[in-house]
Amino acid sequence: MNYSIVYSSVTGNTAKLAEAINNHLGASYVGKPSNEALNADVIFVGFWATKNSCSADIQAFIEKLTNKKVFIFGTVGYDNTDAYFEEILNNVKALVPASNTIIGAYACQGKVSEKKQEQLREAVPEKYEAIKNNLAESVHHPNEKDIDGLLSAVKAAI
Ligand SMILES: Cc1cc2nc3c(=O)[nH]c(=O)nc-3n(C[C@H](O)[C@H](O)[C@H](O)COP(=O)(O)O)c2cc1C
């Protein structure tokens, strides 16, 4: 089986997940969204959360997928609950065109950068107050347990 791993990662969290998948499977393409990645039958698509979904580059890539097996993975910063992971994963899954098959999905928390935390504190203080404990927790992720969870989900899908 031929695998591609396509991901976006600004501060390295999602890149850690992509690297773990690649160490496990050995993909023929690992990197940013690219048409070259479309040569594989199974495509792992990795995102970092923004506005409760994925970034525009990943959205544009997902919209190009046709007749692929797709595994969605991502890191999110603002909460560390299964309900939150599921909500964001569902938003990203909803972008996958109907000709594809979603074979699995996984999300975990990822460290929110100092810069983004500072920006939240200044621009939306109520929101910052409400999630500041979650932001503090985020610095410990993705950790070994998160990577184990990812690899279990990958093994269940492949
Ligand atoms: C501009 C910006 C917007 C973000 N929006 C969200 C969001 O809506 N929900 C969330 O849970 N995390 C949000 N985050 C946190 C990141 O998704 C999270 O820290 C992620 O692990 C970053 O992954 P990366 O290191 O691969 O870039 C945001 C971060 C930035 C910089």
Per-residue pLDDT of the chain (158 residues; tens, 9 = 90+): 799 999 999 999 999 999 999 999 999 999 999 999 999 999 999 999 999 999 999 999 999 999 999 999 999 999 999 999 999 999 999 999 999 999 999 999 999 999 999 999 999 999 999 999 999 999 999 999 999 999 999 999 99
Determine the length of the chain: 158
- Please report the atom of ligand 1 found closest to the CA of residue 53: 8
What are the strands, taking DSSP E only, across the chain? 3-7, 29-31, 42-48, 69-76, 101-109
Query: Mutate which of 10, 19, 50 to test ligand 1's pocket (most atoms within 8 Å of Cβ)?
Result: 50
The pLDDT, as a whole number, for residue 103 is 98
Ligand 1 binding pocket includes 10 (Cβ within 6 Å): yes
With 0-12 CB in 10 A as exposed, 13-18 as middle and 19+ as buried, what is 133? exposed
Given phi > 0 = left and psi -120 to 50 = alpha, else beta, which region is 32? beta
Domains in the chain with CATH codes:
3-111+141-157 (3.40.50.360)
Ligand 1 binding pocket includes 19 (Cβ within 6 Å): no
